[in-house]
A and B are shown apart, each in its own frame.
Chain A
Amino acid sequence: MRTTSQQREGRLLLTPLVAFLIIFLSFPALVDIVYALSNVTFQTMRAPEMVGSRNFGAVLTDPEFWSACWFSLRFGVLTAVIECALGLGLAIFLSPIVSRHGWTTAILMLPMMVAPSMVGLMYRLVLHEFAGPLPYYLTLWFGTSPAFLDASHAFWTLVVVEMLQWTPFAFLLFHVAYISIPSEIREAAAMDKARAWQILWRIELPMMKTTIAIALGIRFIDGFRVFDNVFALTGAGAGGSTMSLSIYIYQSFFKGGQIGQAVAASALLFFASLIVLYGGAMLKYYLERRRTTA
């Protein structure tokens, strides 16, 4: 079968995209697979020695890896739930004001405009006993100020810092979903003498559940992979107490020079993410099927 000039042109036009994908996605992925199966350091990056699945074994038997996984999981779940709960509350509570004065949205969005690493540096200053305003006023009013970043408080301090920066993101999603609910539905419910909480619980929240699920998912992913602000604020923390999975991979790669092990850990994270995404897709499919058959 002969190719037409239109087909040839089409292929030619596709070539840059294919080349881009090969160079920027396939090649690094291939290198990652080779490194994950090799004994490789910065000195031997061009001549890695294949060691099979040894790096995966080393990662899976490393207590620090599991400790970092636990930190990331706890951090991801907690921050996602808190941010979404607060964001939802604010979206509903502030809806009349924000709808009337659109410019207030810009103010509420401000924390999201700051780079996470800058947020980390900012809170290093804000929470510093001698330079920060918060310890200053706490000491002034109560005679003492807690050690926000010591080993026993650092986790919750980091959760609050993350929450303060990213709750506006959840708020934005929920605000858009909330105002897009047709007003006729609310009016009809009101005519049926439904109370405000009944409208919220039986009409508004069910209509926003897709947005809630998306917001929870996005915030969990962002929280789980947290790096910048934690690294700037506490590093890995005393004894590794604030080491997230991203910090574990970074430290194994650059500080420890264990490139194979670091890449194996990132590959495990990738496979785990695939399983979670696949599980999520399956659950959605199951729920939709059940709804259509009901």
Chain B
Amino acid sequence: MTKLRSLLAAGVAAVFSFAAIPGIASAEVTVLGWPGGSEETALRAAVESYNALPGTAAEDKVELLFFNRDGFYDKLQADLAAGSDAFDINLIATYSIGRYAPFMEPVDLGADAEKVFGKPILETMQFEGKQYGVPTDLSLHFMYYRKDLIDALMADQGAKAKYAEISQKYLGKSLEPKAPDEWTWDDWAATALYFTKSVNPDSPVRYGTVLQMKNLLFNMMVFQSLPRSFGADWTDESGKVTVDSSAYRAGLELYKKLYDAGATPKDSLSYEYPETNAAWTSGQVATALQWNAAASELMDPEKAPAVAKDTAVVAPPAGPEGRKDHIHGLGLGLNKSSKHKEGAVRFLKWLATEDAALTYAKAGGSPALAPSVVEKIAADRPDLVKLGQFAGSYGYVMRGATSAKALSVYEAQAKEFTAYWAGQKSLDDALSAVGQSMADLLK
């Protein structure tokens, strides 16, 4: 019995020791960042600079924590809802702020933050008028195109005649090739059809475009700019869902037309970001609407030797309402359950300064910066200049897209829209179903 008591005492002591270890380890500010890719590299560089500052107290030193990307937001949701204090600062995204806001605290970044990022970019991290985070990276979409193919098309009279014939047959109007920066969606569609082997056997590549059509919410973000340029929005000002509109119909029908004509790979209904990159780097695709983050891979001669030198980007094509580009910000905000709020706020305020933003950008991050700030790194990061231009000129956020159920709206759209593209549902049925789901989610 004495032995048993000793064993129990040792067990209890061990339990207390393990319980105390996280307390000791969490003497610093812990940041839960977006793992992998340029965001992690940039955040590591920024944290290293912050920790090396002479004014950073030992208890304010920042340490980093990374999960896996798969299911990241679900794990974050579960941790926040459980009141976890394993991290003081966590990642947030424009379309999930409403979902996480109840478990986070707004932060005051100071007046200078607006000079660094500009008001529209700070707004990507706001919910109900309150600032919930520092915008660290901005995502939008580029229209990638093959310069060599388009130049050859523009210079060839015979090709122009074929182009006009194809556009008349598939789009009902005779079009002439244009420079990508002047494209309407019809011009892009005609170009995609012209460069499709099954439509035009003389095409030098197999497909005119590569569409991301997998039943996945991120693919809906890519698609959204097409109907938006025709005037689409999720709701009207009274909050009534307006997805069953001529604008959404135009966008959905154009995607289906290209898919049915074979202008995009047959497996496009299972394609997302990496599949699109793989298709592009194969050199068998002429255009692709893809995330800006892919530029570093698709335009790098080492990663895409077959196409990098001929790859160029413009903003997405124009519709009747002009050009539109879906913006989606990543940022860092304050966990309500944090045990080191003061230190965490000090780090967030530093992260919103010009020095920190430039450090982050130089290390490979993609912050959208005010023109006066971005010009300081334009030589190192010319893509950030384009990012800022596109975001400022064409960036938009759908009405209701920062609500708590925004991600669920994208999910509902992904399910119904892919059902239409796959031929499982009529357009009327798909729009009716998604309208019903959105009305339930956004009420």
Contact = CB atoms under 8 A, between A and B. Distances in A.
Main secondary structure on B side of the interface with A: helix
A246 B411 CA distance: 17
Interface stretch (A31-39, A68-76, A83-91, A253-261): A253-261
Contacts of B405: 257
Contacts of A233: 270
A118 B100 CA distance: 30
Interface in B253-301: 265-267, 269-270, 275, 278-279, 281-282, 284
Interface in B220-262: none
Interface string A39-52: 00011010000000
Given A42-B77, A42-B99, A130-B284, A238 B267 contact: no
Interface in A229-279: 233-241, 251, 254-257
A257 B419 CA distance: 22
Contact of A254 (B74, B404, B416, B425): B74
B422 A254 contact: no
B424 A129 contact: no
Nearest to B407: A255
B267 A236 contact: no
Contacts of B61: none
Interface residues of B, number: 43
B215 A239 contact: yes
B60 to A, nearest CB: 30
Contact of B278 (A5, A130, A238, A255): A130
Contacts of B269: 147, 149-151, 238
A158 B202 CA distance: 36
Interface string B384-415: 00000000000000000000110110010001
A148 interface: yes
Chain A interface category by residue count: 35 or more
B421 A238 contact: yes
Interface in B70-114: 70-71, 74, 77-78, 80-82, 99, 102
Contacts of A117: 70
Contact of B267 (A5, A42, A150, A254): A150
B425 A239 contact: yes
A154 interface: yes
Contact of A251 (B284, B411, B424): B411
B282 A131 contact: yes
B124 interface: no
B422 A151 contact: yes
A149 B424 contact: no
Q: A12, A233, A240: which has the most chain B beta carbons within 10 Å?
A: A240
B81 A238 contact: no
A225 interface: no
B323 interface: no
A233 B272 CA distance: 11
B422 A257 contact: no
Contacts of B71: 254
A75 B41 CA distance: 42
B213 interface: yes
A238 B424 contact: yes
Contacts of A235: 214-216
A239 B419 contact: yes
B30 interface: no
A240 B419 contact: yes
Contact of A42 (B81, B213, B418, B424): B81
A238 B215 CA distance: 5
B67 to A, nearest CB: 14
A131 B283 CA distance: 12
B423 interface: yes
Given A235-B216, A240-B415, 17 more contacts: A45-B82, A127-B267, A130-B281, A146-B266, A150-B267, A150-B422, A151-B422, A151-B423, A238-B214, A238-B215, A238-B269, A238-B424, A239-B425, A240-B215, A241-B422, A251-B411, A257-B408
Q: Across the A-B interface, give the 7 residue pairs with the lowest CB-CB distance, nearest first.
A: A239-B419, A147-B266, A149-B270, A238-B422, A130-B282, A151-B422, A254-B74
9 contacts: A128-B275, A130-B284, A150-B267, A150-B270, A151-B422, A239-B420, A254-B77, A256-B408, A257-B405
